[in-house]
Amino acid sequence: MPFRLIIPLSLLCALLPLYHGAPGPDGTAPDPAHYRERVKAMFYHAYDSYLENAFPYDELRPLTCDGHDTWGSFSLTLIDALDTLLILGNVSEFQRVVEVLQNNVDFDIDVNASVFETNIRVVGGLLSAHLLSKKAGVEVEAGWPCSGPLLRMAEEAARKLLPAFQTPTGMPYGTVNLLHGVNPGETPVTCTAGIGTFIVEFATLSSLTGDPVFEDVARVALMRLWESRSDIGLVGNHIDVLTGKWVAQDAGIGAGVDSYFEYLVKGAILLQDKELMAMFLEYNKAIRNYTRFGDWYLWVQMYKGTVSMPVFQSLEAYWPGLQSLIGDIDNAMKTFLNYYTVWKQFGGLPEFYNIPQGYTVEKREGYPLRPELIESAMYLYRATGDPTLLELGRDAVESIEKISKVECGFATIKDLRDHKLDNRMESFFLAETVKYLYLLFDPTNFIHNNGSTFDAVMTPYGECILGAGGYIFNTEAHPIDPAALHCCRRLKEEQGEVEDLMREFYSLKRSRSGFQKKTVSSGPWAPPAGPGTLSSPDEPREKPAKQKTSLLSCPSQPFTSKLALLGQVFLDSS
């Protein structure tokens, strides 16, 4: 029996006035200046509470007014909040924190760290702060942006992650010990996003340092996922990085997959890489064909396309913003308005929302102050100027302050139904949620620069233009200046052009003699030989050869986190 999506009448009615950009409850559009100041006050209440009660731990526990380490032991909230300080205009605190991080953060520690989280929060945060240092009045060293203490810290952190990529498939483990590498008993099962969310940070790092290893491993991981897609063009949720076999076969745009799609688009824009964009557009066709029902996106079985979970996850709310980046504004607005109705129903987005029933899913009723819907509002407001998007920003400020604000910061909302709180303030609240809210209400912020102003900087490779706009946000909302990628490689590119000409010359000679070898490349990057060799999206895929490497034992773990199991439970109860 085919699946039928039934939208609750209350949701349908709530959607109608929004489509026409209806004003707020008091009949007026939100005042950007007023809410800009409200957002700034939110930031400092959270930031000051962290400094007073939690530093040098990773994150604040707002209900007990103390701190704890979560993703390593990096003073993570300080790294995550650094570029937000500059966006809010606080250059003196930015300068102070740069000194604090240089003197206190050490990556040579015996800690098991998430490869994904360390990359997006630590490497991404340090790279962004490095590239914004001159704008923040930091006295940069000679050779900047091709050198600098924050860049060296980012490189050191990234090198600690490289052992995770040493697998038969080139897809990384999910966890690495910063001192010893991958633990012998580490599970080989990694989520799709944990494999495909490196190209923005690692390509930036390779461009600034001149070491291609970072971009190389990121590209191999991306292409291995591309080669692992099903015949109908979908990828699952978790995969074994040793065998390349899918462990959880639910396909969707949300948790466990989300930033893989995001980085195909953002990587394509950052690197001007047509191949990455072509890959995303192919995925986009399959997503529309199999997972889209109306203006909602469901979870389906990756090989058959049959619905496995008719739910909306809060992490999926980034999708309208991503659609705006490829110019699909109409569909983006329709989906955004659906998600906004859920926000209005609860005063936040529950982690899982049962679409047919129009209510939360058991044990997934919380809202940890995630940024994704606000992120999409920011992108869409830049594209359309629709006041409805400012209304979402207003609603977010009012809800978060009313429900989540406590004496020591802002607490995760454990249950949106009764507004119970949890004792955690994730670092992304300062890195993303507050930042996107502020940028939504601050149309003249330097981040929104349209190229009318810029800085000319002299580097060892010649003159470099920076700060002209077009910033690419990584998935932790750390802005990367795309122009910086061209500041440190001009001589390398000139050398590469000569090498390309020589290769072309000898290739022509060989072809005339009846011999020509076909190679695959993408711009200046050439794939390594062996297990990491890539194929383009237009070439036929070959099944990887069976690995002779012995499989690592998978430690006992609760499998409720796997969407395949959640999907089955959900369908049984429905």
Average pLDDT over residues 138-158: 97
The larger pLDDT score, comparing residue 169 to residue 27, is at 169
Which of the four pLDDT bands, split at 50, 70 and 90, describes residue 254?
A: very high
Contact 11, 344 (CB under 8 A): no
Q: What is the DSSP string of 62-121?
A: TTTTEEE--SSSS-HHHHHHHHHHHHTT-HHHHHHHHHHHHHH----S--EEEHHHIIII
Side-chain-side CA neighbours of 156 within 13 Å: the count stands at: 15
Contact 479, 473 (CB under 8 A): yes
Which entry of 80, 155, 351, 426 is annotated as an active-site residue? Answer: 351
User: Catalytic site residue 391?
Assistant: no
Is the confidence at residue 75, as pLDDT, over 80? yes
Average pLDDT over residues 212-229: 98
Which entry of 58, 186, 201, 372 is annotated as an active-site residue? Answer: 372
User: Catalytic site residue 372?
Assistant: yes
Arithmetic mean of pLDDT over the chain: 86
Backbone φ and ψ for 480, nearest 5 degrees, come out as: -110, 125
The pLDDT of residue 489? 73
User: Catalytic site residue 258?
Assistant: yes
The pLDDT of residue 554? 28
Which of the four pLDDT bands, split at 50, 70 and 90, describes residue 355?
A: very high
Annotated binding site for Ca(2+): 475
Q: Count Cβ atoms below 10 Å from residue 528 Cβ, excluding itself.
A: 15
The pLDDT of residue 27? 58
Is the confidence at residue 574, as pLDDT, over 70? no
Which entry of 58, 93, 117, 391 is annotated as an active-site residue? Answer: 117
Q: Cα angle vertex 147, ends 143, 202, to 5°?
A: 135
Which entry of 250, 258, 273, 275 is annotated as an active-site residue? Answer: 258
Which of the four pLDDT bands, split at 50, 70 and 90, describes residue 515?
A: very low
Is the confidence at residue 476, as pLDDT, over 90? yes
The pLDDT of residue 72? 87
Annotated binding site: 475
The pLDDT of residue 29? 86
**pLDDT tens readout for residues 368-408:** 999 999 999 999 999 999 999 999 999 999 999 999 999 99
| Six token digits for residue 573 | 């109860």
Is the confidence at residue 560, as pLDDT, over 60? no
Which of the four pLDDT bands, split at 50, 70 and 90, describes residue 525?
A: very low
CB neighbour list of residue 304: distance below 8 Å, 6 or more residues apart:
232
Average pLDDT over residues 5-25: 38
**Greatest mean pLDDT among 212-226, 503-517, 529-543:** 212-226
